[in-house]
A and B are shown apart, each in its own frame.
Chain A
Amino acid sequence: KNQVEQSPQSLIILEGKNCTLQCNYTVSPFSNLRWYKQDTGRGPVSLTIMTFSENTKSNGRYTATLDADTKQSSLHITASQLSDSASYICVVSTGGGNKLTFGTGTQLKVEL
């Protein structure tokens, strides 16, 4: 069964600090891995998309890594801001197309 697991489930950090979110997947066949940010009551917004040949990809203060051998990915957020408070969802695309398998997300809260 295709699964995407994320950890931690929730996280509280102080503004300005860095944090790393983890994603493990057992999805086959693998097409690409995406990280999304979802604010409460809104649709997810894409942060990064990586194919199996890409090890790292950055989008501003967000840096995603992918290890296709161990089937692990991480999302590193640098110098966190209050606006980073959201759910971060790891998503794996199977066998092409947009048949996406979603993780349950990490709920991040950034506090003063």
Chain B
Amino acid sequence: ETGVTQTPRHLVMGMTNKKSLKCEQHLGHNAMYWYKQSAKKPLELMFVYSLEERVENNSVPSRFSPECPNSSHLFLHLHTLQPEDSALYLCASSQDLEDRGLYNEQFFGPGTRLTVL
């Protein structure tokens, strides 16, 4: 596997379910990100991790819980979601949080299409 992978690619869950999204990067990067993309809206940054430490939480509801056990893996645990949480969830990684040389280029995974019923 190369680049950034995400599983599952599609997920349908009820509002009372608990599920987890997984992201893995094979690039040796130190920073990882979770984004949410709703239809016709900009990508919304949810969480940022640098060297396994959460450095940013963009006012995300507690029903979304991230976990970064090591610099290659990032999880998003989902619990009691709402239908409006249905969206494409994208994971990304970058070399470092502030990599001036690469203009903060982030590499994205293919995303998980989440539907909450």
Whether A associates with B in a native complex is: no
Footprint of A on B, CB under 8 Å? none
